[in-house]
Structure 1
Amino acid sequence: MKIRISWPAGNVIATLDDTPTAAALLAALPLQSTAHTWGEEVYCDTGLAPALEPDARQVVEPGTVAFWTEGNALALPYGPTPISRGEESRLASPCNVLGRIDGDPRALTTVRAGDALHVQLA
């Protein structure tokens, strides 16, 4: 399943895997939230509260679509965060992996804290 994440300066398409958290997110769409940034990561509150899945990870590839269960937030890393070691994308804590951004995740560099983020089916 594909979703579109858009903000005033752009958008990305992402392909979601078949996971319980991805299913919960899809059921909640369309979603509107406010963007927050943390290093080279964009995240936003979803109002969802899924459980941490057994294969949750803290270090992911740039462009991973993740869900931060501790913050009820969609997490979109595109590079290093303040706690990364080197160039890795290290999330604040283990997150559920939902899928991957199609194309270049560096498109997220144009998201500014406070931007309106829209998440919908693509």
Structure 2
Amino acid sequence: MTARTTQASAPAARRVRISAGRVVIRAELLATATADRIWAALPIRSTAETWGQALQFETPVESGRDRTARALAEIGDLHFWTENDRVLIPFGRTPISRAGEIRLPSPCNVWAKAIDDVTLLKDVAPGEKVELTATT
């Protein structure tokens, strides 16, 4: 008799689609509690707001600050602003950035990594509809 080896299959990647005005980007969720809460709340519909070179929108999600929280952002990271229950996606300088950085309003949780170019969000105007949905 021979021993059988089984290989555990990796969990499927969780991906979202963010439609804001005519712009669409995709992102892959990280393995965090904030990402889990956002995933459970999908679909999320909101209204676009801009803050310098960042898109933000309200969500029904509540989450405390976690180990991923950062005050300085990297392009391509999707953030959750815990104090205001908002998704925040920076694609350049914010009004409080210093030279060579992208500064967030406070430390924000990183919950996803963009698959597509987030600088496309520069074409989204305040007041446009935003929809965050699950995708494959």
Distance 1:63 1:101 in 2: 5
Give the structure-2-normalised TM-score: 0.86
- 1:65 — aligned with what? 78
Shift of 1:49: 1.3
- 2:90 — aligned with what? 77
Q: Once superposed, which parts of structure 1, at least 4 consecutive aligned residues long, lie more than 6 Å away?
A: none
After superposition, the C-alpha distances for 1:7-54 in whole angstroms (9 at most, x for unaligned) are: 221110011101000000000000100111000000000021111113
Secondary structure, aligned partner of 1:109: helix
- 1:99 — aligned with what? 112
RMSD, aligned α-carbons: 0.9
- 1:48 — aligned with what? 61
Which stretch has the larger CA shift, 23-32 or 48-57?
A: 48-57
Secondary structure, aligned partner of 2:83: helix
Corresponding position: 1:7 with 2:20: yes
Quick one: which amino acid aligns to residue 121 of structure 1? A
Unaligned runs of 5+ in 2: 1-13
Distance 1:45 1:116 in 2: 11
- 2:9 — aligned with what? none
Contact 2:21 2:125 in 1 (8 A): no
Which stretch has the larger CA shift, 29-38 or 51-60?
A: 51-60
Shift of 1:99: 1.7
Determine which structure has more spread, i.e. the larger CA radius of gyration: 2
Give the percent of matched residue pairs that are identical in Structure 1 and Structure 2.
38
Secondary structure, aligned partner of 1:97: strand
The number of equivalent residue pairs is 122
Distance 2:116 2:45 in 1: 23
Shift of 1:55: 3.0
Distance 1:2 1:79 in 2: 23
Give the structure-1-normalised TM-score: 0.96
Higher strand fraction (1 or 2) = 1
